């Protein structure tokens, strides 16, 4: 797909299943499942989140974040597997538009 970020920091699409062996997340303590919420009225497609969370987010042709998992039909709420929680936290902190929020799942 044109415009998708080719850079991958960790293992491919199917890796982040919350598998305990996953190196993503730095092996920190297991955290409760979380979801990433995007304020679409604030996001202006700067793409930092996709840089910091490439396991879960790609960019669409206009640069807006796009959920990678085919099962996630919506990018309004993206489930974050526990091992990726710290990456998600960094993406939330980095968003220049304060458009991201990490919420408890459920």
| Residue 101 engages ligand SF4 in binding (rule: CB under 6 A) | no
Among ligand SF4, another protein, none, what does residue 37 contact (CB within 5–8 Å per kind)?
another protein
Which residues are bridge partners to 77 per DSSP?
A: 37
- Shortest distance, position 24 Cβ to another protein, whole Å: 24
| Binding characters for ligand SF4, 9-48, by CB under 6 A (x = yes) | -----------------------------x-x--xxxxxx
| Residue 17 engages another protein in binding (rule: CB under 8 A) | no
The DSSP result for 51-62, as a single string, is HH-TTTEEE-TT
| CA distance linking residue 1 with residue 46, whole number of Å | 19
Instruction: List the Cα angle 2/46/13 in 5-degree steps.
Output: 50
Tokens of 49: 């989140």
Cβ-contact 13, 5 below 8 angstroms: no
Among 58, 64, 81, 89, binds another protein (CB under 8 A): 64
Which residues contact another protein (rule: CB under 8 A)? 37, 39-45, 60, 62, 64, 66, 73-76, 101, 103
């Amino acid at each position: 797909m044109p415009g998708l970020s080719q850079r991958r920091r960790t293992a491919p699409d199917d890796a982040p299943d919350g598998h305990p062996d996953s190196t993503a997340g730095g092996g920190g303590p297991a955290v409760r499942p979380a979801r990433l919420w995007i304020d679409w009225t604030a996001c202006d497609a700067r793409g930092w989140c996709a840089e910091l969370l490439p396991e879960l987010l790609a960019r669409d042709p206009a640069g807006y974040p796009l959920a990678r998992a085919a099962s996630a039909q919506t990018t309004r709420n993206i489930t974050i597997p526990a091992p990726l929680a710290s990456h998600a936290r960094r993406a939330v902190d980095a968003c220049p538009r304060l458009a991201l929020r990490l919420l408890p799942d459920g």
